[in-house]
Structure formats: C-alpha cells, structure tokens
C-alpha cells in the first residue's frame, strides 16, 4: 500500500477512495469560486479592482483559482475518456504548482501548505523507493489485440506479498524509447499467483498510448526480455475477507479482460475450497482471448484437452463491432486503463482471421451467459446462506448481475458484493 495517511486511517484502497476524492475536489472548487467571486465583487464595489489586480496576492489568487478550474474541468469523464494521459499530466502538474502558489498567496494558509508539501514529498520518496527494476518478456496473444507481460521475480520482487486481485504499476523500458517513458507508469492487474508460478503475469488490451507502445516493443523484441520498472502491489483486494472459509459459495463474473482481476482470485479460492463451491462465469469475444488463462486451470497445463474445473464457464459471444464494444451495453467500457478508449487496430477482419486459424474452437460455449441461471444455481441450495460475489467488467454487466442477486437478498441471503471498476 502507498504511504498515505488517509489509506491507513480508512483501510480503503485508491479505487475506493477515488469517488470521495472527486466529490471533495468539487466541493473545494465550489467554495474557492465563491471566495474569489466575493473578493472580486468587493473590489469592484469599492473601485479597487484595477489597483488590487496588479498586486501579488491577488495575481497569485487568480492563478490558483484558474488552476483549480482547469483541474476540475480536465477531470470530467468526457475528458478522461478522450485522453487519459492529458488529464493525468494536467492533474499532477497543476496540483504540484498550486502548493507554492497558495503558499505565497496569503500567509495564514502557509502551515497547511507545508503539511501538504511534507506528505506529498514523503509519498513521492516512498513510491520511488518502492519502484524496482526487473526483466520482462512482452508478447502478443495470438489472434487477439491482447498483450502479455511476464516479469521475472528477482530478489526485490520476490520479497513482496501479492494478494489475488491486486495491481502493480509498470513503466516502459526507457532504453527502447524516449527516456521520458521511464516516468510513464500504468496500472496492470496481476493475472496469476506469483508465489506459485514464479513470475508476475500481466495481460492488457492493445489500446492507444502506453499499450500501443508495448505492442510495438513486443513486435520488435520477439520475446527477448527487456527492463521494466515495477511498483506495487496495490489494490482493495488486500482488505478482502477470506472468501474460501467465510462464505458458503463464491461467484465470480467477468467480461473480456475483466478476468485479469477475477482469474487469480478464482485460482486462489480453488486452492482451498471444493470446486463445487466456487463458480466462475467469463464472457469473451473470441476463444483466443481466453487462451492466456486456460493452461493454469487445466489439470495438465501442457495438454489443451485436459479437464477444466467443473465450476468454470466460458462463453464466446462472437464478433463485436470494430471498436470492440462491451458485451453488455454499447459504451465500449473496458476494465484496463484507457487512453482515449480507441483500440490499437480495427477488428473488421477478426472473423476471417479466426476461421483461418481455428481460434474460435475451444472449451467455450457460444452466446451470452445466462446470469439468472448462474445466480440461481449458486444460491439455490437450501444450505447456502452466505455468498461472495465479485464481478469485473462493463458497468452494464455489473448492473445485470446486481439485479439478479437482489432477488436472493430479498429472500434473506447474505451477500458480500464487490464490483471492480478502474476509474482513475
């Protein structure tokens, strides 16, 4: 966990605190706008505006309120979806410059500014100490637009505890691109069990921005290892209950690359609970998109025909639109960090390509999963009183699942619910 007093006090992760951060930010900007408006109105009424607007405290105040308004505007969902990197750079840079601006604005706020600066510096130092270098192999998942990263566990990384469902930050290899890219870190969910597998495995969809660069690197290196920076792990999963021993049943549902979150949790629960106590429903556009995960679930990872767990259900929904629209709804939501929401390449030729390579053949059923049936089968037994439900995918998928779960909550079932959505 990052050194953050708020996280330590609340035991909440970045993802859980983020909505409160946005709400408090909006409240703060509203109060500051009132503060600036009232002072400007006073100067106009007293005919002091032309004089005061040339003095340092007012100039700095106007710079500060302008910075706050730019931060608030760039944090709007439409801007983040258009270009996340623009939002991120504006947010970080202006937030840092606000500290000296406010410090010299008026003297009575300086103790609070120094407190914030101290915490900010400690967090930056801690994050830099926590960032370690490692060797990674970057590859393309055949017949998909997915990228896989396999990071070798060295002494520094092996000493850390990786809880299923957590994520790490990965920086690009600086020697292969601009040196500035070593400061460009993106979050990726750890898709495996590092302590058991001996490596940290990551999977992401090839979008624009960082993942586009990773795709180019994978094509250039062709499996050769390269240096990357790793920071973490982080995430709310560190505070999850003991799913296998606390609940009668565990239900996991994922859409597309949302399985990067649910797959390690599924494997972990399977290690301590009977197969019939845990159900994993996963919907993908093509069977090839599940190829990165299936070997770890088979009795014999080297045998493609080996038996999969009885509670594992894979559904192949078929070809979607060229933008890779989500399985539930048409808003194109994905669980990995998006930079503009644009796929790296169009997928109009997917069907022909999959037919050529046989990518659609496999263990999956064709069509959408019947969430009502899956929920009823998990909750239907009379001895089932407590159920843990975890979903990772588009918001429409979570809404549909929540509706079905609600029927059983009304009948007295106790449900622990977690819907994983990255909203940075």
pLDDT tens profile 254-307: 999 999 999 999 999 999 988 889 999 999 999 899 999 999 998 777 777 778
Q: Residue 181: what pLDDT?
A: 55
Of the candidates 266, 271, 261, the one whose C-alpha atom is nearest the C-alpha of residue 420 is 261
- Tell me the C-alpha distance between 189 and 296, whole Å: 17
Q: Residue 346: what pLDDT?
A: 36
Segment 308-320 mean pLDDT:
85
CB-based contacts of 215: which residues, under 8 Å, 6+ apart?
A: 140, 147, 206, 344
Strands 199-205 and 146-152, sheet pairing: antiparallel
For residues 292-301, b (16+ Cβ closer than 10 Å) or e, as one string?
A: bbbebbbeee
Residue 212: pLDDT over 90: no
What are the CA-CA distances from residue 71 to residues 34, 68, 211, 263, 385 (Å)? 17, 5, 25, 36, 46
Q: Computed from CA positions of residues 374, 376, 379, 381, in that sequence, does the dihedral angle turn out positive or negative?
A: negative
Supply the pTM of this predicted model: 0.79
Residue 49: pLDDT over 70: yes
> How many other C-beta atoms are found inside a 10 Å radius of the C-beta of residue 403?
12
Q: 85-99, 254-268, 350-364: which has the minimum mean pLDDT?
A: 350-364
pLDDT tens profile 317-335: 875 443 333 334 433 344 3
151: left (phi > 0), else alpha (psi -120 to 50), else beta?
Answer: beta
Instruction: Name the burial class of residue 314, with classes exposed (0-12), middle (13-18) and buried (19+) by CB atoms within 10 angstroms of its CB.
Output: buried
For residues 120-138, b (16+ Cβ closer than 10 Å) or e, as one string?
A: eeeeeeeeeebbbebebbb
CA atoms within 13 A on the CB side of 139: 12
Residue 57: pLDDT over 60: yes
Give me the percent of the chain exceeding a pLDDT of 70: 85
Q: Residue 329: what pLDDT?
A: 40
Strands 226-234 and 365-366, sheet pairing: unpaired
Q: 74-78, 170-174, 176-180: which has the minimum mean pLDDT?
A: 176-180
Is there a contact between 112 and 169 (Cβ–Cβ < 8 Å)? no
**Residue that wins the pLDDT comparison between 217 and 40:** 40
Q: Residue 36: what pLDDT?
A: 96
Q: 106-115, 168-177, 311-320: which has the minimum mean pLDDT?
A: 168-177
**Residue that wins the pLDDT comparison between 270 and 187:** 270
Strands 365-366 and 312-316, sheet pairing: parallel
**Structure tokens given for 91:** 């947010």
Instruction: Name the burial class of residue 22, with classes exposed (0-12), middle (13-18) and buried (19+) by CB atoms within 10 angstroms of its CB.
Output: middle
- Tell me the C-alpha distance between 146 and 137, whole Å: 14
Q: Residue 83: what pLDDT?
A: 79
- Tell me the C-alpha distance between 7 and 17, whole Å: 8
Residue 84: pLDDT over 50: yes
Backbone angles phi, psi at 147, to 5 degrees: -120, 135
Please state the separation of Cα 178 from the chain's center in Å.
25
Give me the percent of the chain exceeding a pLDDT of 90: 54
Q: Residue 177: what pLDDT?
A: 53
Question: Given pLDDT bands bounded at 50, 70 and 90, which one contains residue 353?
Answer: very low
User: Rounded to 10 degrees, what is the CA torsion of 98, 104, 109, 111?
Assistant: 90
Please state the separation of Cα 183 from the chain's center in Å.
19
Mean pLDDT, the chain, rounded, equals 84
- Tell me the C-alpha distance between 1 and 154, whole Å: 20
**Structure tokens given for 238:** 């560190």
CB-based contacts of 124: which residues, under 8 Å, 6+ apart?
A: none
Q: Residue 114: what pLDDT?
A: 96
Please state the separation of Cα 276 from the chain's center in Å.
29
């Amino acid at each position: 966990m990052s050194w953050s007093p708020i996280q330590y006090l609340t035991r909440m992760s970045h993802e859980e605190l983020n909505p409160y951060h946005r709400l408090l930010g909006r409240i703060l900007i509203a109060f500051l706008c009132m503060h600036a408006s009232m002072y400007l109105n006073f100067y106009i009424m007293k005919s002091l505006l032309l004089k005061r607007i040339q003095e340092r405290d007012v100039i700095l105040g106007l710079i500060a309120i302008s910075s706050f308004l730019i931060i608030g505007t760039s944090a709007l969902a439409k801007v983040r979806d258009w270009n996340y990197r623009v939002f991120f750079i504006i947010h970080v840079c202006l937030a840092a410059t606000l500290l000296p601006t406010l410090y010299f604005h008026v003297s009575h706020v300086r103790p609070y500014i120094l407190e914030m600066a101290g915490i900010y510096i400690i967090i930056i130092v801690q994050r830099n100490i926590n960032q370690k270098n490692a060797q990674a192999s970057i590859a393309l998942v055949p017949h998909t637009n997915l990228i896989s990263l396999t990071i070798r566990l060295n002494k520094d990384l092996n000493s850390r505890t990786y809880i299923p469902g957590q994520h790490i930050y990965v920086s690009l290899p600086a020697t292969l691109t601009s040196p500035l890219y070593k400061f460009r870190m993106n979050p990726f969910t750890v898709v495996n069990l590092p302590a058991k597998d001996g490596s940290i495995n990551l999977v992401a969809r090839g979008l624009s921005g960082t993942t586009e660069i990773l795709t180019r690197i994978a094509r250039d290196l062709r499996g050769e290892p390269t240096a990357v920076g790793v920071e973490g792990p982080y995430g709310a999963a560190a505070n999850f209950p003991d799913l296998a021993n606390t609940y009668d049943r565990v239900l996991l549902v994922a859409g597309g690359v949302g399985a990067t979150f649910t797959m390690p949790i599924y494997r972990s629960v399977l290690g301590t609970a009977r197969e019939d106590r845990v159900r994993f429903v996963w919907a993908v556009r093509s069977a090839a998109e599940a190829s990165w995960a299936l070997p770890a679930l088979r009795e014999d990872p080297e045998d493609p025909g080996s038996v999969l767990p009885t509670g594992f259900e894979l559904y192949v929904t078929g070809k979607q639109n060229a933008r890779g629209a989500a399985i539930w709804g048409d808003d194109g939501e994905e669980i990995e960090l998006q930079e503009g929401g644009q796929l790296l390449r169009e997928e109009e030729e997917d069907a022909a390509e999959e037919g050529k390579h046989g990518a659609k053949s496999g263990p999956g059923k064709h069509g959408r999963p019947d969430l009502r049936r899956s929920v009823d089968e998990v909750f239907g037994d009379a001895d089932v009183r407590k159920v843990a439900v975890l979903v990772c995918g588009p918001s429409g998928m979570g809404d549909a699942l929540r509706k079905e779960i609600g029927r059983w909550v009304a009948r007295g079932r106790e449900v622990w619910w977690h819907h994983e959505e990255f909203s940075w």
